[in-house]
Structure 1
């Protein structure tokens, strides 16, 4: 369906972790806001958890980027010469160049 290749497994795993952590942090932030508006005792602990969760979510998102960079460094990037470069190479090899 799409020509774009799938992400490597370690990068996909890190991305899934980041999405789950971010979703949980958003839920905690919502609980913190609603409990602060309602004036419930849960507001202060929820705000502290939301601040800690923001740090963890930032770490998780950075982990995706670092994991991708490490994968590219270790496994390289598959590249193919363009059609123009291929034509020049064929001309050079045939000696007509």
Structure 2
């Protein structure tokens, strides 16, 4: 019997202890979590869409049955469709607003990153000037004024 199991490629009873494989394997997330306002809008849109689909199904079935409920349900389904469309657009707009407001842009040459770089450079220059005790000329002042040149001051 033992030889037959080995020929089939099965593992003997004593060898199961040697296999140390975790029951749960953690995999990294493929995409980041949605921001809270966007997630809230998405949940709201899903609930509204689900209610709209249920109303449409009730309207259809009550129409088939010839019930008095058919007409009010058709009217409410039309109104719910408008609201569901608004809900889906709300998710899209909320996502766009969040991305613009907080600068989460995935394009490397984006303006948001460029502005951050420029602000970072300005802060570094200000810190360096503060350490050296030199005043930074205002933007657009390319040359030293005559008084500064006479005093021998340098710019950063």
TM-score range (shorter-chain normalised) is: 0.7 to 0.9
Relative contact order: is structure 1 or structure 2 higher (C-alpha 8 Å, sep ≥ 6)?
1
2:33 is the counterpart of 1:33: no
Q: 1:80: how far off?
A: 8.5
- Equivalent of 1:73 in 95, 100, 110: 100
* Residue aligned with 1:77, SS: coil
Which structure's CA Rg is the greater one? Answer: 2
SS at match of 1:40: coil
CA positional deviation for 1:2: 1.3
Alignment partner, residue 14 of structure 1: 41
Superposed CA RMSD in Å reads: 1.4
- 2:76 aligned residue: 49
State the shift of 1:15 in Å: 0.2
- Distance, in Å, in 1 between the alignment partners of 2:98 and 2:50 is 25
State the Cα deviation string for residues 54-74 of structure 1 (Å, max 9, x = none).
000000000000000000010
Q: Which runs of 4+ in 1 moved over 6 A?
A: none
Aligned length: 81
3-state secondary structure, aligned to 1:6: coil
Normalised by the length of structure 1, the TM-score is 0.79
Give the structure-2-normalised TM-score. Answer: 0.50
Q: Which has the higher helix share?
A: 1
